[in-house]
Structure 1
């Protein structure tokens, strides 16, 4: 059955399975680094039009913390890991044991917090890409991460203009992060903005071509 985004239920299930494998790898990497228990899962994966991205992020004026990684190799594009700033700050406090971290006002302490978040984004995104590479057999090479802390609209505006020249959709991997002492889970999003051929390459590696 074809979904409105042009992907079949089987293709969406395959993307979700790859996402869950990535989440397991990322949780293991984070737990090992921090010596603290981290659990991650992917409740759903979706392909959405560019016009809907900012709604997913809470609107263009929502403050978010984001890491951006360019990927190259068999699959090319951009991958963002994004959290609401308040959730990012809570996660950084847990990861670093620093309880006075803020990410928007960049004084000396907060620059430390930004550095911690950048490393978190690097580990999580790298783990996802590594898992997808293992799952598909594709070579995926991530770049050094770039950190942005700004309004969602400001962060994504250039990316949308750049990628929209070649495709109309973005792959969203919704990610839930749970750790001890936190009443509510952290909800983050991975946004994969692929080059035109990359989704087709990914589906071929998963044993699918076109809508099945």
Structure 2
């Protein structure tokens, strides 16, 4: 059993937060490049919270959200979830598809666009993490679901059994012209992976 998030000291937490900041910046750049537009980003809010608190952050377990889920493999393993409120999901899909659709219905093209965005954003985070740590990290093909927050958050638990009690949350807000997009990016490392991650960052002996 490796080190758990709740055992981290403030220096280790600061290093993880810095990775969150760099990853979010790279993700915003990747999104701007994909859309060929200027994307501004608020300074991301990075915190460590208990897995059970995540649904409350999204507005409660009953709130419908769009979730893009990845498995992380390589030198470290775990899960990544990118969760978006439905309104933000629609704004993103519209930005990519160059349309104005205010309904909460997501057709196959919308879903495909969101999966592609999830792929690009998660890929940016992971490549930042990989270059900062020197670790080889790969992500699986994304799975996309539009469902209640509670149902989406149960996916890693159902698929992989017990996940860590705590997650690293990176809350990001992108702005493009009059459009605002709020997204929540969660890294849920398997217990042993935290130790590997911190050692590779030089903040754990």
- TM-score above 0.5: yes
Aligned to 2:164: 167
Distance 1:180 1:31, change over 3 A: same
Measured after TM superposition, the shift of residue 160 of structure 1 is 3.6
Q: Which of 177, 181, 185 is 1:186 aligned to?
A: 181
Aligned to 2:6: 5
Aligned to 2:78: 77
SS at match of 2:115: helix
Distance 1:15 1:88, change over 3 A: same
Distance 1:126 1:150, change over 3 A: same
2:179 aligned with 1:202:
no
Which 5+ residue runs of structure 2 have no aligned equivalent?
none
In structure 1, distance between residues paired with 2:79 and 2:43: 19
Aligned to 2:139: 142
Measured after TM superposition, the shift of residue 158 of structure 1 is 3.3
TM-score by length of 2: 0.89
Aligned to 2:54: 53
Distance 1:169 1:162, change over 3 A: farther
2:142 aligned with 1:129:
no
Measured after TM superposition, the shift of residue 133 of structure 1 is 0.5
Aligned length: 201
Aligned to 2:91: 90
In structure 1, distance between residues paired with 2:58 and 2:164: 20
Measured after TM superposition, the shift of residue 163 of structure 1 is 5.7
SS at match of 1:92: helix
Measured after TM superposition, the shift of residue 7 of structure 1 is 2.1
TM-score by length of 1: 0.87
Deviation track 1:113-171 (CA, whole Å, cap 9, x = no partner) reads 11111111110011100111011111101111111111101111232455662532122
Superposition misfits of 4+ residues, deviation over 3 angstroms: 160-164
Distance 1:167 1:188, change over 3 A: same
Aligned to 2:63: 62
Higher deviation after alignment, 158-167 or 42-51: 158-167
- Cα RMSD after superposing both structures: 2.0
